Amino acid sequence: MDANFATNLAKAARAEMPQYADAATWASGLDYLARKAQTPGQTYEQSYLAVAESPDGRAMYRAMQTAANAEMAGISKQRSAAGRPTDRTPTAIVADASESLLAKMATDRAQQDGCSFEIAYGKVVETEEGRELFKAAMAR
């Protein structure tokens, strides 16, 4: 980003024109101003905070948030327009015997050790029997 474009971004932000750029460009503008304003002995974060607290920085930050929200609204609208396919019905996920046994072993281990299912699952998979069951489950 060059100084002219950063100046134009600041002007657009002051004029409350978030549609002038996308959210990533607004973020790049804030980044450019922060790096430009950074003084010797000052971290990037300190410089960014100083820029974000300035009138131009606040306006650019608001424009970035507005642009990001508009982009997300557009994505949501596209997803809503696409809708759910009507020609397919979801089917139940059926676990095979090795997955069921692994889950049972992990549940038992979690109760025994007093830990979460995820941690117990990791411990079970580290055992020889668990490793073989995991390989069998992943092979299908």
User: What digits encode the pLDDT tens for the residues 23-71?
Assistant: 899 999 999 999 999 999 999 999 999 999 999 999 999 999 998 888 8
Question: How crowded is residue 18: how many other Cβ atoms within 10 Å of its Cβ?
Answer: 22
- pLDDT category of residue 75 using cuts at 50, 70 and 90: low
Phi–psi pair at 89, nearest 5 degrees: -115, 135
Question: What pLDDT score does 86 carry?
Answer: 63
pLDDT in tens, 80-112: 665 666 666 767 777 788 888 999 999 999 999
- pLDDT category of residue 2 using cuts at 50, 70 and 90: confident
**What does the alpha-carbon distance between residue 16 and residue 125 come to, in Å, rounded to a whole number?**
56
